[in-house]
Structure 1
Amino acid sequence: MSASVGGLNMGDVIIQLLFLLLVILLVIGIVSLVVMCIKRNKRISQLEEKIDKLQSEKDK
């Protein structure tokens, strides 16, 4: 006889929790990736602005 809670097998509950955790981790991973890309693009833009400023000062 298997352990059950309210007609659900414990194995089923554990599998459902694991899939829920997997979905949550996937969402967190995607959000983190988007945030990292945005920060990277912002840093690249700042570097480009600094390079342009230095080139314009050099040309004077």
Structure 2
Amino acid sequence: MNKIMWDDVIFQLVFLIILVVIAALIVFAIRALSKRPKQMDRIEKKLDAVSKQNKKDN
């Protein structure tokens, strides 16, 4: 009974790694989705500035 079942240990480690990866992906997705509106606002401001500069030149 004291013998370590290596196949069970490997199985448990694989599933632990899978759970950690899933959790990391969820955190990454939430952070990316929360940053997107701010990034879009910055891009829109830059486009407006370029557009105004272009109208001044013409």
- TM-score tier after normalising by the smaller chain length: 0.5 to 0.7
Stretches (4+) displaced over 2 A: 45-48
Q: In the alignment, which residue of structure 2 is the partner of 1:25?
A: 21
Which structure has more strand as a fraction of its residues?
1
TM-score (norm 1): 0.62
1:37 is matched by which residue type in structure 2? Answer: L
TM-score (norm 2): 0.64
Structure 2's unaligned 5+ residue stretches are none
Q: When the two structures are aligned, how many residues end up with a matched partner?
A: 50
| Mapped partners of 1:12, 1:25: distance in 2 | 20
C-alpha root-mean-square deviation of aligned residues, in Å? 2.5
1:16 to 8, 12, 15: 12
Q: Percent identity?
A: 30
Which structure has more helix as a fraction of its residues?
2
Structure 1's unaligned 5+ residue stretches are none
